[in-house]
Amino acid sequence: MAPRQSTPPAVLACGEIRTCLLPARQALDIRSAAQLLGLRADERVLLSERPGLYARSPETLTGVDCPLPSANGARVRAVGTVTAHAALTEGRVLQTSAHCRMPGTGPDQRRPWGEYLVRPGVVEPLGKLPRDAVAQGVLGGPRHGDLDVGLIADGLLTRVLRHPLLDQRPPFRSRPTRLRWAALPAAPGEGPALERFTLAEDELRTVRLRVPEGTAGADIAALCDDLALHDWLLTTVVRMLDGLRLGAGAAHDAGAVVRTLRPAVDHLLHLWMPGARVGRELAALWDPLEERPGFTRQWQALVQRIRDQLTLHAIPAAHREVEPAP
Amino acid sequence: MLVFAASDKGGTGRSVTSANLAYQRALTGDHVAYVDFDFGSPTAAAVFDVPGAMRGTEERGLHSYLEGETAEPVRIDVWRQTEHPLLRARPNQSGRLVLFPGDAGGGEFATGEEALERCVDLLLKLNNEFDVTFVDLSAGRSYAVDMVLDATAHPRMRNVPFRWLVFHRWTRQHVIAASGLVHAEHGIIGGGVERGHDEDELRAAIRFVRAAVPDPESPLWSQGSTAQATWMQACDEALRRLAAEQRIGDSVVLGIVPLEPILQWQEQLITEEDVLSTQIANKETLEALEEIARRLTDDTHWGRL
Amino acid sequence: MTEPVFRETAAEPRTQSVPLAHLSVELGHLYMEDFEAGPERLRAHFAEVRPWVEAARTAATARAGGKRARISTCFLIDDYFTRFSTPAEVVPMLLAEAERAGLTVDYLARESGCAVTGKVPVAEAVAARIVESPPPGSYGLRPPAAQTGWLANGERSPVARAPQAMKRAVTWQPPHETAARRHSVFLDVELWSDDADGQRLWSCPFLAAVWQLARLGLLRNEGEAVLAPQPHTAGGFPDKWDELPTLLQLNEHADPFAAYRTCSVLPTRFLPVEHAVRVILDQIEVDPGALAQVADRSGKERMPVPDSVADRISYVYYAGP
């Protein structure tokens, strides 16, 4: 067989990330994290200690052969592999992230499987890729039977959560979030851009990006992992404060306020570091989010509110002339 | 905490009562999940009045999930998707109330190793997300009962607290049957011990709820004759003795739900509105439900006796 | 982009490279039954092999554009499924018979090295790199309970299982080869078996697939090369197989053990095993770093390798026992 020319460049990359609290009483240290994420005997877990503890599993591949989701109903079959990894931040927040890249055209029929395996993370259309319709289809959510990278992230999450290291005693109740993303090529000469960040249903976020040709799928995934992590932190802390009954009527329950907010201090407040693990070029995509709505601004307000609440409740009730109000 | 709702026979009001308990817990601010493991006849959608949301769940309900055909079972946010006009306005400070329905066309099925692992995955996930998770189990010694006994004995579930509520009606046959479900050789306790549960701990986590109990003092019966009243008193007394003999006496009863037409005929959630303004439900019923819901997590009502 | 100032070595992947020849020719496998058949069996084998080795050499030289092709030869002895005799007895006999046929054995390998080498669980690591070929309709849901320890080239017949009450049981359906052209040649390969004590026994085709990956220079453990050849320095050969290095370099002037392509000369009875090897290789995700190194270097030598790893191996079968 004649060797194939290199794959045509990807014209669409997409992925989905699940983010949740690690169900363990104690945050995992770096060695336990390496154990948890050692998905393969022959590949190391990547460990990093600056600017915070971070561990990432080797990539795992899942084979797919199915129609691509599309907004206009076109059913284009595609074959290839979706790559996925799990990551743990500060031994506390667990993420699984699955993604793939798609070239603009592919062969008319399926190739031998081994040829797909040497291009990990590439899903090739049979024929031409209706790029914009697929990007929209991915973000809108696949129909049953269409390619669903979210299921692959979920499958990996389920696998990691079955690890015996986890005692299944999370320090507080929280909800996992999903972040779906799609990246289209930027116009020639243009830099990367974050076109849209949407809070969809309760747990779903969607991100639409433009990236210069040649941007590695792994780099885009790293940016989206980072967005997902920080969005989860915001969502989780907002819900923690939502669940509180504050104000005069709840004066007797100062203990409850402290019980509810303390886990945030113990486990979450030190995790805020947007852009820390993103390549310089893509890290710039944080800027529009910082401007409006201002992720870090909201985070700082929440942190301040938590600290104020804890300070107020540290004062014996008799000395509190005015009850804290929300 | 996980709460398993079991009954030996159908018609005990198990589903409707546990759905009401879930509703009551959510009103107090807890995040509550209601899991419909009544595989033979999934009915929870009717109780929560979410029939519209059930469309399209034929293939993504709990049956499909346990059989590995879908990765995430459908969840229905009751406050948002109910067609019940009163529930729609989610009460202030209430927690989330999420229904996990069975497949619309699903029947009872045999479970295997993989289904058990998936069941454990699901229960752990819910326990990490919700304050209380109600699991409604098919009547009798069903696959559903076996599966959750297996699941709660699983090493991954060792730190997850759970409690059992066994529902029965206040008749001779139901008292004997409920006792059998728990105490017979391969009953919940025996079956649990076979699966590695500690007998004392399991026993301490089981309480009974007497449902549809006619209260001889109730105005409902005040029109009756003296002879009738005496007869009812005597029956009630005899049933109490029987229950005690059957080891399901007052000390292991978490609560008593009075005979309530709305639960018998309509199978719906009882709201304050039903009691106060339309007065189609009895105040005593609502109070009983509130009290049982409260006692679920009140440790003084649980433990070895 | 500028190089970052701060680096953490544990946070960056790396892959060790290995020297590479153009072609690795396997002169044969030796199993207990071959040994028991006496030196005549080996003699007959090498006599059959000799012309094909010449042919492979000629073909490789042609592919190298007339330049000297780097070719190494190797021989595999089974010490995994059955232990027989001793290296001190077997190896000299083997080398003598090869020499008599005019062949040189550059590298000698023990089959158990494909299971475990030193402390590296090679076979287990390769098994963890299997990415099953998805049948059409695979959209990302985990396949319901894959057959642990088996690998097929398509979809198995559905297993009759207890259906939900009131649902109909499924009738028999044939298995289907995913890459079938009209009709299927379905193959289901047993990768390993576990005995009562939980001891895992790797199957012959699976170890043969590992062996092929080693010869293609594509095995890594945490980025380090595994099955690196040890030079033969001692005068003789040990009395215990475990004391023999798993991969021994017998000819100090030999070209590198690993190569862009492999060719194995075997009697026809190995055909089913080698079919299974292809089915396995076609579904293994090889270390991407190692893959890139081979692609890069072969490209620079203008001897590009086929994309698919399974297409880099070839066989010559001769009629015979």
What are the structural domains of chain C?
16-129+193-318 (3.40.50)
Residues C39, C42, C47, C48: what is their CA dihedral angle, to the nearest 10 degrees?
Answer: 150
Cα A286 to Cα A294: distance, rounded to the nearest angstrom: 10
Closest CA in chain B for residue C144 = B68
Q: Are residues A109 and A239 in the same domain?
A: no
Note the pLDDT tens digit of each residue in B200-242. Answer: 999 999 999 999 888 777 766 667 778 888 888 899 999 999 9
Note the pLDDT tens digit of each residue in B52-75. Answer: 777 656 678 898 899 888 899 999
Whole-prediction pTM: 0.92
Closest CA in chain C for residue B63 = C164
Q: Are residues A82 and A101 in the same domain?
A: yes
Domain boundaries, chain B: 2-298
Q: What is the mean pLDDT of residues A13-19?
A: 98
Domain presence at residue A249: yes
Interface membership of C10 toward B (CB under 8 Å): no
Q: Are residues A131 and A278 in the same domain?
A: no
Number of domains observed in the structure of chain A: 2
Cα angle C124-C130-C133, degrees, rounded to a multiple of 5: 160
For chain B, the maximum distance between any two Cα atoms, rounded to a whole number of angstroms, is 61
Note the pLDDT tens digit of each residue in C63-113. Answer: 888 889 999 999 999 999 988 889 999 999 999 999 999 999 999 999 999
Cα C73 to Cα C254: distance, rounded to the nearest angstrom: 8
Chains near A with 3+ CB pairs less than 8 A apart are B, C
Residues B138-172 as b or e (16 or more Cβ within 10 Å = b): bbbbbbbbbbbbbbbbbebbeebebbbbbbbbbee
Cα B180 to Cα A18: distance, rounded to the nearest angstrom: 45
Cβ contacts of residue C7 below 8 Å, gap of 6+? none
Is residue A1's pLDDT more than 50?
Answer: no
Asked whether the beta carbons of residue C141 and residue B108 sit closer than 8 angstroms, the reply is no
Report the share of chain A in percent with pLDDT over 70. 92
- Average pLDDT over chain B reads 89
Domain presence at residue A246: yes
Asked whether the beta carbons of residue A154 and residue B72 sit closer than 8 angstroms, the reply is yes
What pLDDT shows up at residue B88?
Answer: 83
Helix axes A217-242, A254-263, angle to 10 degrees: 170
Is residue B95's pLDDT more than 80?
Answer: yes
Q: Is C221 exposed, middle or buried (0-12, 13-18, 19+ CB in 10 A)?
A: buried
**Among candidates C8, C140, C142 on the partner chain, residue whose Cβ is nearest the Cβ of A48:** C8
Write down which residue in A234, A256, A276 finishes a domain: A234
Count the neighbouring beta carbons within 10 Å of the beta carbon of residue A69: 25
For chain C, the maximum distance between any two Cα atoms, rounded to a whole number of angstroms, is 75
Closest CA in chain A for residue C218 = A118
Q: What is the mean pLDDT of residues A252-269?
A: 86
Residues of chain C with pLDDT under 70: 1-4, 143-147, 159-170, 321
Amino acid at B118: R
Q: Are residues A217 and A271 in the same domain?
A: no
Q: Specify whether the CB–CB gap between A102 and A184 falls below 8 A.
A: no
Is residue B108's pLDDT more than 90?
Answer: no
Q: Are strands B132-137 and B97-100 parallel, antiparallel or unpaired?
A: unpaired
Cα A212 to Cα B49: distance, rounded to the nearest angstrom: 50
Q: Are residues A279 and A162 in the same domain?
A: no
C-alpha distance from residue C259 to each of A273, B116, C20, C285, C288 (Å): 46, 47, 5, 18, 17
Is residue A316's pLDDT more than 50?
Answer: yes
Note the pLDDT tens digit of each residue in A189-242. Answer: 999 999 999 998 779 999 999 999 889 999 999 999 999 999 999 999 999 988
Domain presence at residue A81: yes
Cα A219 to Cα C60: distance, rounded to the nearest angstrom: 40
Q: Which residues of B touch C165 (CB under 8 A)?
A: 40, 107-109
Fold of B2-298: Rossmann fold (3.40.50)
* DSSP letter assigned to residue A85: E
Chains near C with 3+ CB pairs less than 8 A apart are A, B
**DSSP per residue, B248-263:** -SGGGEEEEEEP-HII
Asked whether the beta carbons of residue C164 and residue B107 sit closer than 8 angstroms, the reply is yes
Is residue A2's pLDDT more than 50?
Answer: no
Cα A61 to Cα A82: distance, rounded to the nearest angstrom: 6
Domain presence at residue A149: yes
**Strand, coil or helix: what is B34?**
strand
Domain presence at residue A5: no
**Which domain, by its residues, includes A154?**
10-234
Give C 157-176 residues with CB within 8 A of chain B: 162-167
Asked whether the beta carbons of residue A280 and residue C121 sit closer than 8 angstroms, the reply is no
Q: Specify whether the CB–CB gap between C111 and C62 falls below 8 A.
A: no
Asked whether the beta carbons of residue C307 and residue A3 sit closer than 8 angstroms, the reply is yes
Q: Are residues A210 and A315 in the same domain?
A: no
**Among candidates B40, B70, B114 on the partner chain, residue whose Cβ is nearest the Cβ of C145:** B114
Cα B200 to Cα A50: distance, rounded to the nearest angstrom: 50
Domain presence at residue A205: yes
Q: Are residues A61 and A202 in the same domain?
A: yes
**Among candidates C138, C141, C142 on the partner chain, residue whose Cβ is nearest the Cβ of A65:** C138
| More confident: A301 or B263 | A301
Cα A105 to Cα A66: distance, rounded to the nearest angstrom: 16
